[in-house]
Amino acid sequence: MLGAWDRRDRPPEEGAAAELPGFAVDKTFFSSLKGILLETELALTFIIFICFTASISAYMAAALLEFLITLAFLFLYATQYYQRFDRLNWPCLDFLRCVSAIIIFLVVSFAAVTSPNGAAIAAFVFGIVLVSVFAYDAFKIYRTEMAPRATQGDHQ
């Protein structure tokens, strides 16, 4: 009885969101470019978190925070649950996530390289690789999601 009542009150869903009810995972997302980028970012932030935990524990909060944010975006994109929040500009949020991660990991990585500890040096190397992955992700988001909208607004 509650299920039928909920269907009448909800607005009709369109597109891919209608195909995936609830929290069903779109397995093709994990093999797409965006999925691979998010998985790489997730793995590298976890490695950096482990390196900072082993060496400089003061910096591990930044890596943990970025890990959790990236995990949340991976979950939202893989389940296509983000389409239910249509008032948010998801490409802009994802772009800002990448830019803030670039700034955070540049600062933290260069601060970690001052330590003679081996794990801190490894965190620096993985941090630079992660910054390049986040920069590529931000570039792809801007080129595919944000730049076409800006040019469409100029022609109207």
Average pLDDT over residues 118-126: 92
pLDDT of residue 156: 52
pLDDT of residue 115: 83
pLDDT of residue 2: 46
Place of tokens 């700034």: 103
Residues 134 and 59: their CA atoms lie apart, in Å, by: 19
pLDDT of residue 123: 92
1: pLDDT confidence band, cut at 50, 70 and 90? very low
pLDDT(145) > 90: no
Kindly report each contact of residues 100-109 with a partner whose C-beta sits within 8 Å and lies 24 or more positions away, as own/partner. 101/41, 101/66, 101/69, 101/70, 101/130, 101/131, 101/134, 102/131, 102/134, 102/135, 102/138, 104/62, 104/66, 105/48, 105/62, 105/66, 105/130, 105/131, 105/134, 106/131, 108/52, 108/59, 108/62, 108/63
Element (H, E) at 137: helix 118-141
pLDDT of residue 72: 94
Which two tokens mark 39?
Answer: 């998985």
State the Cα angle at 125 between 42 and 55, rounded to 5°.
Answer: 85
pLDDT of residue 95: 95
Q: What is the pLDDT of residues 60-116, one digit of tens each?
A: 899 999 999 999 999 999 998 888 888 888 899 999 999 999 999 999 999 988 888
pLDDT of residue 62: 92
Average pLDDT over residues 116-129: 92
pLDDT of residue 7: 41
Q: What is the pLDDT of residues 2-35, one digit of tens each?
A: 444 444 444 444 444 445 456 688 889 899 999 9
Comparing C-alpha atoms, which of 40, 76, 77, 44 is closest to residue 63?
Answer: 44
Comparing C-alpha atoms, which of 123, 100, 134, 120 is closest to residue 47?
Answer: 123
